[in-house]
């Protein structure tokens, strides 16, 4: 007994869910469309958007690992019933052999020829009668469910599925295309039901194409219209193109061509069962051979008599006035990207109620079935792989070292060390040095990095140079222990950070020391051979704060000035021409070690004097006296008073420098010096604001500074 449950009563959406056995459903063809996202700045855009695509693609590639092919027998029947009532049983039509099909698809044409049906597309009482007849004719001993049916005027398509298989069916949709008068009325056209069995998408199309011998091109066009315009679920993307299998049944109306053979001859051949010779003139075969219609479709061999046109109730070809030529109007074709075999293709002459004979085909389809457990395993592997790839795609780099040690850095003497940064990964990466938390600059003022950022291609090496250079500005940031210590953060964009440690020490020097300290150090600040053991014991020269001042001025200052006094009094452009770095280094070593000053240019010594004066942590005119001095910059008596309030050694330095400059000026007829220039140069060195001044303020204070000094260059001053 057939257990008939009207499966169509449920809502389409619920149905799709209810019949879906595999929630993670895979569509076969649309993957290339998914996830074509715009590329984001981060290298991980595929992780954000494309991961879905990547998983889909990987699953598709590996689907054989977790799917099995399962056979499914599909019986397709097409019959133009010529508007007749179902007066015959359909048992033999719906069970063509003793094996009940898994899926039964039946397509009728001219089910109802009444004008009301044609114009109003209303319910058809004949439809109900034929449905009842089919239900009664379904194979016995097996339960079927009506999956879906759709009617377009006289074109009815019905799909039944074995109940035991229903859980493997999902995504059931319908669609229809009219090709009749004005392309609107549904007397001609096609309907379709689309569904998935397991992972395989199948569409059944039932069509009734244009009639008459000469309308071949019209029929071709009808086919093309139906194939391209068919949409399911009103979804523009849901077409016949993305089905794994399309089975096309119906009264396609292709005739036996009368171009080369007369209707009489055709009829004679047909009555003698000469199928072979007749088929040579079959229009559908002709058109398909010319690739004009049903491209990519396949039809099995025709071993049956023409299915049209018979005198109803008989097996005799039409003897009416019209005397239609016999033809194979009723056909079944398919197109498939999976294994599909036709087991049986025949007509059913036993059915006599119509002027057409029904045609059936049994198609053996291999559907793809998901093994849920295997699929989960494959999915786990894919996800793990993606995580690994995500980590591998992070920038991979190698540094030849992460620690730089600068031994014995001397004042104003650059030392350089390189680090090589190699790209050991597969993609290019960007690197940059970044400031540490709460830092603004990426490194201390005594260090320079070149380059600070860049891009390295795979396999390539970038040489990053680290230069330690200690000038007066950097000197102020170095502690009394003279240690250089810095950790740099080298950041790979979108990846890890490296810490690079830079260490070293500044060789003891009189530059940057306080005047008040220097006057308490009678010995050279550094022994000449001190470079050797300096690492073990920083050569800290003890400054005894309590000890009486040993010197009037720092002896290093005296050495420089004395040298200039002896060699530069008649030199033109003194303090206007720059010296050489090497000479300045020689002066530094000479005064620090009490060695002889040996230079190639006197201007190097002059510049050393400026640098030395500029290096004092507290300027010659101490910060606390700076405002007063500016105020009295044009009042010599007050300026002298201000000077008297200063520390003894600072005052001495100031007096000493001014006396020396006056000495130079006294020879101005030979060295062409002038007080204005010298007070400008020395004003900015001897007097300095504690905090940086804004541009416009600095301009006016600079003038006051030189005015202050100018008084002492143009007036004798000694107390």
Contact set for other proteins, span 508-537 (CB under 8 A): none
Single out the segment in contact with other proteins by CB under 8 A; choices: 144-152, 297-305, 383-391, 674-682: 383-391
Q: Which of 295, 315, 497, 624 binds other proteins (CB under 8 A)?
A: 497
List beta partners, residue 642. none
CB of 493 to other proteins, least distance (A): 5
The CA–CA distances, whole Å, from 267 to 215, 304, 313, 635 equal 20, 15, 19, 138
Task: Say whether residue 47 binds other proteins (CB under 8 A).
Answer: yes
Contact set for other proteins, span 537-556 (CB under 8 A): none
Q: Kind of pairing, strands 67-80 and 403-409?
A: unpaired
Task: Say whether residue 462 binds other proteins (CB under 8 A).
Answer: no
Contact set for other proteins, span 360-379 (CB under 8 A): 379
CB of 38 to other proteins, least distance (A): 10
Q: Which of 388, 476, 635, 699 binds other proteins (CB under 8 A)?
A: 388
CB of 29 to other proteins, least distance (A): 17
Order of all β-strands in the sheet with 397-399: 397-399, 415-423, 461-468, 447-450
CB of 380 to other proteins, least distance (A): 11
CB of 437 to other proteins, least distance (A): 3
CB of 476 to other proteins, least distance (A): 22
Other CB atoms closer than 10 Å to residue 655's CB: what's the count?
17
Contact set for other proteins, span 411-440 (CB under 8 A): 434-438
**CA-CA distance, 632 to 637, in Å (whole number)?**
9
CA–chain centroid gap for 10, Å, is 43
The residues, ordered by sequence, that sit 6+ positions from 681 with a Cβ below 8 Å of its Cβ are 575, 610
How many residues are recorded in the chain? 719
Task: Say whether residue 57 binds other proteins (CB under 8 A).
Answer: no
CB nearer other proteins, residue 456 or residue 518: 456
Per the rule left: phi > 0, alpha: psi between -120 and 50, beta: everything else, 262 is: beta
Q: Which of 166, 404, 490, 687 binds other proteins (CB under 8 A)?
A: 490
**CA-CA distance, 559 to 598, in Å (whole number)?**
12
CB nearer other proteins, residue 25 or residue 473: 25
Q: Are 262 and 252 in contact (CB under 8 A)?
A: no
CA angle, 136 then 173 then 343, to 5° = 55
DSSP-derived secondary structure for 268-319: HHHHTT-HHHHHTTBHHHHHHHTTSSSTT-B-PPP-S---B-B-TTSSSB--
Q: Which of 3, 6, 41, 545 binds other proteins (CB under 8 A)?
A: 41
Q: Which of 31, 469, 498, 677 binds other proteins (CB under 8 A)?
A: 498
**CA-CA distance, 635 to 184, in Å (whole number)?**
109
Task: Sort 510 into a burial class: Cβ within 10 Å, 0-12 / 13-18 / 19+.
Answer: buried
The residues, ordered by sequence, that sit 6+ positions from 278 with a Cβ below 8 Å of its Cβ are 256, 266, 269, 270, 306, 326
Check whether the bond before 309 is cis (ω within 30° of 0): yes
Q: What is the DSSP letter of 687?
A: B
Q: Which of 342, 493, 543, 681 binds other proteins (CB under 8 A)?
A: 493
Task: Say whether residue 491 binds other proteins (CB under 8 A).
Answer: yes
CB nearer other proteins, residue 8 or residue 439: 439
Single out the segment in contact with other proteins by CB under 8 A; choices: 221-229, 232-240, 419-427, 482-490: 482-490
CA–chain centroid gap for 369, Å, is 34
Task: Say whether residue 390 binds other proteins (CB under 8 A).
Answer: yes
CB of 204 to other proteins, least distance (A): 25
Q: What is the DSSP letter of 520?
A: T
Q: If we measure between CA atoms, which residue out of 110, 295, 307, 287 comes closest to residue 189?
A: 110
Task: Say whether residue 402 binds other proteins (CB under 8 A).
Answer: yes
Q: Kind of pairing, strands 359-370 and 429-434?
A: unpaired
Task: Say whether residue 62 binds other proteins (CB under 8 A).
Answer: no
Q: Are 609 and 587 in contact (CB under 8 A)?
A: no
Single out the segment in contact with other proteins by CB under 8 A; choices: 36-44, 302-310, 557-565, 574-582: 36-44
CB nearer other proteins, residue 501 or residue 547: 501
CB of 7 to other proteins, least distance (A): 22
Q: If we measure between CA atoms, which residue out of 670, 684, 672, 678 comes closest to residue 714?
A: 678
Cα dihedral 347/352/355/357 (nearest 10): -10
CB of 338 to other proteins, least distance (A): 23
Provide the token pair at 717.
């001053």
Task: Say whether residue 12 binds other proteins (CB under 8 A).
Answer: no
Q: Which of 8, 25, 457, 528 binds other proteins (CB under 8 A)?
A: 25
The CA–CA distances, whole Å, from 97 to 92, 100, 344 equal 8, 7, 9
CB of 393 to other proteins, least distance (A): 10
Task: Say whether residue 42 binds other proteins (CB under 8 A).
Answer: yes
Q: Which of 279, 292, 489, 610 binds other proteins (CB under 8 A)?
A: 489
Task: Say whether residue 385 binds other proteins (CB under 8 A).
Answer: no
Task: Say whether residue 638 binds other proteins (CB under 8 A).
Answer: no
Q: Which of 23, 214, 259, 718 binds other proteins (CB under 8 A)?
A: 23
Task: Say whether residue 391 binds other proteins (CB under 8 A).
Answer: yes
CB nearer other proteins, residue 47 or residue 113: 47
Task: Say whether residue 387 binds other proteins (CB under 8 A).
Answer: yes
Q: Which of 140, 272, 316, 496 binds other proteins (CB under 8 A)?
A: 496
CB nearer other proteins, residue 185 or residue 394: 394
Q: What is the DSSP letter of 354?
A: S
Q: Kind of pairing, strands 403-409 and 397-399?
A: unpaired
DSSP-derived secondary structure for 374-417: HHHHHHHHHHHHHHHHHHHTS--EEES-SEEEEEEEPTT--EEE
Single out the segment in contact with other proteins by CB under 8 A; choices: 310-318, 329-337, 492-500, 628-636: 492-500
CB nearer other proteins, residue 402 or residue 452: 402
Task: Say whether residue 487 binds other proteins (CB under 8 A).
Answer: yes
3-state secondary structure of 193: strand
Other CB atoms closer than 10 Å to residue 594's CB: what's the count?
15
- The size of the interface with other proteins (CB under 8 A), counted in residues, is 39
Could you give the string, one character per residue 94-133, with x where binding to other proteins holds by CB under 8 A and - elsewhere? ----------------------------------------
Which residues of the chain form contacts with other proteins (CB under 8 A)?
Answer: 23-25, 40-42, 47-48, 51-52, 55, 379, 383-384, 386-388, 390-391, 394, 402, 434-438, 487, 489-499, 501
């Amino acid at each position: 007994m057939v257990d008939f449950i009207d499966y169509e009563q449920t809502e389409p959406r619920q149905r799709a869910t209810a019949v879906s056995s595999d929630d993670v459903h895979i569509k076969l063809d649309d993957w290339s469309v998914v996830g074509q996202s715009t590329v984001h700045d981060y290298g991980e855009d595929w992780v954000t958007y494309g991961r879905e695509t990547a998983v889909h693609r990987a699953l598709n590639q590996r689907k054989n690992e977790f799917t099995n092919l399962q056979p499914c027998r599909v019986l397709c029947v097409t019959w133009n019933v010529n508007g007749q009532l179902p007066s015959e049983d359909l048992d033999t039509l719906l069970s063509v052999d003793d094996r009940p099909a898994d899926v039964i698809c039946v397509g009728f044409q001219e089910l109802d020829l009444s004008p009301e049906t044609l114009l109003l597309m209303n319910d058809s009482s004949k439809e109900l009668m034929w449905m009842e007849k089919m239900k009664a004719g379904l194979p016995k001993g097996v339960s079927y469910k009506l999956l879906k049916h759709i009617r377009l005027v006289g074109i009815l398509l019905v799909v039944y599925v074995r109940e035991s298989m229903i859980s493997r069916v999902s995504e059931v949709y319908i669609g229809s295309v009219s090709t009749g008068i004005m392309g609107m009325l549904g007397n001609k056209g096609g309907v379709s039901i689309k569904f998935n069995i397991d992972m395989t998408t199948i569409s059944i199309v039932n069509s009734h194409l244009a009639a008459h011998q000469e309308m071949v091109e019209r029929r071709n066009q009808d086919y093309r219209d139906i194939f391209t315009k068919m949409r399911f679920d009103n979804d523009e993307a849901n077409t016949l193109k993305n089905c794994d299998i399309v089975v096309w049944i119906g009264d396609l109306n292709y005739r036996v061509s009368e171009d080369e053979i007369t209707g009489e001859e055709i009829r004679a051949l047909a009555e003698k069962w000469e199928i072979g010779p007749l088929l040579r003139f079959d229009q559908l075969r002709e058109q398909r051979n010319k690739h004009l219609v049903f491209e990519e479709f396949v039809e099995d061999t025709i071993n049956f008599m023409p299915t049209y046109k018979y005198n109803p109730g008989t097996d005799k070809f039409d003897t009416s006035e019209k005397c239609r030529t016999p033809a194979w109007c009723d056909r079944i074709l398919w197109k498939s990207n999976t294994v599909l075999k036709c087991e049986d293709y025949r007509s059913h002459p036993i059915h006599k109620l119509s002027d057409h004979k029904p045609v059936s085909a049994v198609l053996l389809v291999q559907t793809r079935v998901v093994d849920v457990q295997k699929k989960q395993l494959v999915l786990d592997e894919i996800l793990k792989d993606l995580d690994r790839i995500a980590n591998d795609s992070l920038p991979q780099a190698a540094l030849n070292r992460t620690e730089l040690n600068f031994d014995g850095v001397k004042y104003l003497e650059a030392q350089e060390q390189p680090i090589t940064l190699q790209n050991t990964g597969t993609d290019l990466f960007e690197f940059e040095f970044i400031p540490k938390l709460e830092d603004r600059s990426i490194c201390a003022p005594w260090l320079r990095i070149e380059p600070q950022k860049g891009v390295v291609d795979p396999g390539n090496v970038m040489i990053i140079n680290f230069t330690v250079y200690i000038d007066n500005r950097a000197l102020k940031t170095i502690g009394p222990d003279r240690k250089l210590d810095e950790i740099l953060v080298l950041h790979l964009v979108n990846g890890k950070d490296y810490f690079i440690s830079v260490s070293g020490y500044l060789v003891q020097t009189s530059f940057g020391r306080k005047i008040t300290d220097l006057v308490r150090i009678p010995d050279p600040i550094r022994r000449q051979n001190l470079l050797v053991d300096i690492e073990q014991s920083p050569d800290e020269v003890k400054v005894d704060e309590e000890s009486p001042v040993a010197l009037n001025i720092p002896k290093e200052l005296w050495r420089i000035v004395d040298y200039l006094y002896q060699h530069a009094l008649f030199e033109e452009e003194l303090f206007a021409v720059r010296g050489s770095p090497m000479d300045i280094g020689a002066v530094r070593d000479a005064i620090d070690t009490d060695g002889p000053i040996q230079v190639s240019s006197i201007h190097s010594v002059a510049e050393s004097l400026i640098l030395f004066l500029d290096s004092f942590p507290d300027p010659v005119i101490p910060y606390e006296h700076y405002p007063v001095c500016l105020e009295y910059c044009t009042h010599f008596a007050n300026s002298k008073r201000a000077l008297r309030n200063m520390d003894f050694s600072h005052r001495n330095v100031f007096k000493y420098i001014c006396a020396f400059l006056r000495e130079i000026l006294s020879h101005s007829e030979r060295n062409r010096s002038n007080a204005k220039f010298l007070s400008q140069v020395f004003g900015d060195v001897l007097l300095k604001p504690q905090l940086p001044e804004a541009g416009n303020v600095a301009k006016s204070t600079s003038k006051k500074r030189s005015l202050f000094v100018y008084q002492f260059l143009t007036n004798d001053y000694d107390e």
